[in-house]
Structure 1
Amino acid sequence: MNGSDKTDRRERILRAAVQEKLLEPETALLAGFIDLDGVDETVTSLHRAFPDSLRVLHAFAAKANCLVPVLKELRRNGMGCEVASAGELAQALEAGFEPEHIVFDSPAKTRTELERALSLGIAVNADSFQELSRLDEILATRRSRSRIGVRINPQIGAGSITAMSTATTTSKFGIPLEDEGNRQRLLRTYRDRPWLTWVHTHIGSQGCPVDLIAQGIAKAVEFAEEINTHLGRRQVTGIDIGGGLPVNFDTDETTPGFDTYVDHLREHAPALFSGEYEIVTEFGRSVLAKNGFTAAYVEYTKTAGGRPIAITHAGAQVATRTVFAPDAWPLRIEAHDPDGRAKHGRSVPQDIAGPCCFAGDLLARNRELPLLDAGDLVVVPDTGAYYFSTPFHYNSLPEPAVHGARVDTDGQVTFQLLRPAQADHLMPALAGR
């Protein structure tokens, strides 16, 4: 699906949502929408990017959108699930993922969490030497069918967003491969633990160029080869290459694609395609971001210092990263009339503000858009991952409803409730006054 098709489908979904009162200026002021057809297409493109000759599990990073109905859709599309907490593990199991299709990553796994994962046969990537010692203690008293690996940090540097770069010299994630003594210590670690059969790495996500990601993965693949050569046996049989494909937030075009990612891997890590290793990926944002959008009503408009301001119901509670780090996480804003039709006309620089009670709650500053009026709708594209699915509960603002949408060949839209709106717990108390 090209960019213009995605734009048209988004407006079709928006207008249908208004008609069905999924958006309504008194009772449904804000909602998130996921284009389920778009999700299907994206997952298909991910599967097709990797050769059929390889054994690959594409494990969706649950942190990107942990709504159980969404995880169920991804499972039906043949994906596994990568989890980073006990809560995400519970959601993955509720969504029906088989334990052997779940990967447990976290830098702070508790003994109880490890014991449960190992008892279920869930893959575990150890993040530190201390965690490996804890695994030694647990496995001394029980057997497990879990695939177990070590997360290494190839220390290749940062992308343009430091907070999203996990392969810096001092990253909190993984065992730093180039720190003095660590390479030899890791080789001994694998030698002494025949149950260590995987190597894991994750270079970063948004802001990390594809070539940097591929170079980091290449170092992990080279280290897997080094382990097997050093031991004189193929002990490492799988490589978890993480996720991190960056998303284009500037337009509706999906660039870079998974095929581009694979091309870079072929260039830097050809051994990954030898067929000798199982592969796990952990994509999250790149699967869902461009298949979701947020829509909210404009409640009021005003002018301050000569600049128009639209006060909307979408702010830090659903766009936390954009509000607190606008330079790193800018989002597009689209102006629509109350019926959901795109507004046209002369663009005017204006601020798009949210409802939270602090001055910095702005989705966009001085953004040129057709002048917004009270009762209009603003649409925030590319928010299918990390935005409305993981709300920030500032001012006790309720979580918005999230709806899945499908569009048939006749253009008819059908909706599926993925998360109901959170009831405002203050309303009964206020009504009784």
Structure 2
Amino acid sequence: MSVRRLADWSDTRLRRLADEYGTPLYVHDHDRVRENYRRLTGAFPDADVLYAVKANAGRHVLDTLREAGAGAECASAGELKRALDAGFAPEDVHYTPVNPPARDLDYAGDRLAGTDATVTVGSADTLDRLESRGFTGRVLVRVHPGVGAGHSAEVATGADAKFGVPRDRVHGVLADADDRGFDVRGLHAHTGSGLLTASDRDDHRTVVETLAELVAESPVALDRVDVGGGFGVPYRESEPPLDLDAVATATRDALAGLDVELAIEPGRYLVADAGVLLATVNTTKETDGDLLAGVDAGMTTLIRPALYDAYHAVRSLAPDAADRVPVPTSVVGPVCESADVLAEGRDIPRVERGDLLAVGNAGAYGVEMASTYNSRPRPAVVALAGDDERLVRRRETLADLTTHEA
């Protein structure tokens, strides 16, 4: 199936996992990750698929996608280390730093020197910094196309000057990199995150067409175009799934006539609907508006609702939920912030203290963005593969919070 809704998860299994491992708890289903990867490669059979590690950098996820055949796209030295340590070959790794700190480039220079890894540069001075560290290997130049789309303005990357070289300067950077002896391979751009609608698809095609025009007029021979990722998944129950075949067709059409290899960088699409977050209701409160359900997960566990005003489906896993009357409910966390809200005004069977709630589409940018703000330990993660399950990240303790303090 092209989309997995929260209702498709087994209530019985999720309740058992919560009983065994406690809450808050992330549950990641690797069978679904593999299914998503197969669907994606079916739509893009000739593309080099590079998993965007920032979506979920857990070793268990990296192992699953490496074994399936994916490469890795890394935005930081930490992600680069995780990918290489997980066994990704350097030639299957793209390092795509944004305004990289010196220590990141120091690490990349050490690990990537003499390999066939690819570095994507988003500014002219990154070439200086790489060259000074002895790296003159494969590079792509990231383009700022001036067009962006996505689930919110904060992730419409293509429209943000922070990312990439302005279009009118791209050829100069390509020529400069070639003159310095870098192995210049191609261009890169990323429209944004969470592309889902026909309008998003049109913006994506515009970005790819911009890359195609720049390749056709390039002063340096290029053989690779990386169109980024951002392929969306429906977070709301009423939203249809992404028309992935239409995206693939639009991408191929925009590159028609060019003799280049296509690369894509999916992250969310591969892991979002492969994860749920489980939380226990610890407090209920009647108000003049919604019923408030206070749970043991909050913005430190899943920050997307507070950061992006993002919607995540919420479901009661109480065994008798079907017999309870739905009431407008807001699900709030234990953090001392008014922004600590996971869901507002949802019609949920009336909650009671001790009930278990499931939050959908939590496999991407969930545990990866978790923090210890308010000195709250981060949650555990359980990975599923068929009938097998294992704890792949233990729950942090209060003692863990001060481990790094002198």
Q: Work out whether the TM-score is over 0.5.
A: yes
Give 1:95-244 correspondences, 5 Å limit: 95-109=86-100, 110=102, 111-116=105-110, 117-139=112-134, 146-159=137-150, 161-168=152-159, 170-178=160-168, 182-183=169-170, 185-186=172-173, 188-189=175-176, 192-193=179-180, 195-206=183-194, 209-227=200-218, 230=219, 235-244=221-230
2:192 partner letter: G
Contact 1:58 1:283 in 2 (8 A): yes
Q: Distance in 2 between matches of 1:187 and 1:75?
A: 31
Determine if contact 1:254/1:290 at 8 Å carries over to the other structure. no
One of 224, 232, 237 as aligned partner of 1:246: 232
- Give 5+ residue unaligned stretches, structure 1: 23-27, 408-412, 429-433
- What is the correspondence of 1:201-350 to structure 2 with a 5 Å cutoff? 201-206=189-194, 209-227=200-218, 230=219, 235-251=221-237, 255-271=241-257, 276-326=259-309, 329-337=310-318, 343-350=322-329
Q: Secondary structure at the match of 1:330?
A: coil
Give 1:147 deviation, angstroms: 2.2
Q: TM-score, normalised by structure 2?
A: 0.89
One-letter code aligned to 2:392: L
Contact persistence 1:153–1:177 (CA under 8 A): yes
Give 1:281 shift: 1.3
Q: Decide whether the 8 Å contact of 2:3 with 2:273 is kept in 1.
A: no
Between Structure 1 and Structure 2, how many residues are aligned? 394
* 1:214/1:296 CA distance change after superposition, 3 Å: same
Q: Does 1:375 align with 2:354?
A: yes
CA contact (8 A) 1:294 1:388 kept: no
Are 2:195 and 2:201, in contact at CA under 8 Å, matched by a contact in 1? no
Matches within 5 A, 1:24-43: 28-43=22-37
| Matching residue of 1:25 | none
**Residue from 383, 388, 403 that aligns with 1:414:** 388
Label 1:2 to 1:188 Cα distance change in 2 as closer, same or farther (>3 A): closer
Q: Which amino acid aligns with 1:127?
A: G
| Aligned residue number for residue 398 of structure 2 | 424
The alignment partner of 2:9 has SS state of helix
Question: Residue 270 of structure 1: SS of its match in structure 2?
Answer: coil
Asked if the contact 1:292/1:382 (under 8 Å) is kept, the reply is yes
What is the percentage of aligned positions where both structures have the same residue? 29
**TM-score normalized by structure 1?**
0.84
- d(CA) in 2 for partners of 1:238 and 1:166? 21
Identify the range of structure 1 (208-217 vs 64-73) with the bigger mean alpha-carbon deviation. Answer: 208-217
Provide the secondary structure at the position in 1 that maps to 2:113: helix
User: Measured at CA, do residues 155 and 426 of structure 1 come closer, stay the same or move farther in structure 2, by a change above 3 Å?
Assistant: closer
Match of residue 61 from structure 2:
70
Measured after TM superposition, the shift of residue 193 of structure 1 is: 4.8
Amino acid at match of 1:192: D
Q: Deviations over 1:73-126 (max 9, x none)?
A: 111111111111111111111211111111101122334134223344321011
The AA in structure 2 aligned to 1:308 is L
CA distance in 2, matches of 1:344, 1:4: 25
Where in structure 2 are there 5+ consecutive unaligned residues? Answer: none
Output the CA distance in 2 between the equivalents of 1:4 and 1:277.
Answer: 34
The answer (yes or no) to whether the contact 2:5–2:360 under 8 Å persists in 1 is: no
Tell me, in whole angstroms, the C-alpha distance in 2 between the residues paired with 1:41 and 1:254.
18
Q: What are the superposed Cα offsets for residues 263-322 of structure 1, whole Å, 9 maximum, x if unpaired?
A: 221333324xx6x22222111111111111000110111113353111101110122121
Counterparts of 2:395 and 2:3, CA distance in 1: 30
- Give the conservation status (yes or no) of the 8 Å contact 2:127–2:177: no
Higher-Rg member (1/2)? 1
What is the alpha-carbon distance in structure 2 between the residues aligned to residue 42 and residue 253 of structure 1?
Answer: 18
Change (3 A) 1:192 1:371: same
C-alpha RMSD over aligned residues? 2.6
The secondary structure found in structure 2 opposite 1:389 is helix
Query: Contact (CA 8 Å) 2:302, 2:369: kept in 1 or not?
Result: no
Q: C-alpha distance in 1, partners of 2:239/2:289?
A: 35
Aligned CA distance change for structure 1 residues 200 and 217 (closer, same or farther; 3 Å) = same
What's the counterpart of residue 38 of structure 2? 44
Which shifted more, 202-211 or 295-304? 202-211
Query: Per-residue displacement from partner, 1:172-212 (whole Å, max 9, x unpaired)?
Result: 0110104xxx2552464365356212211111112571221
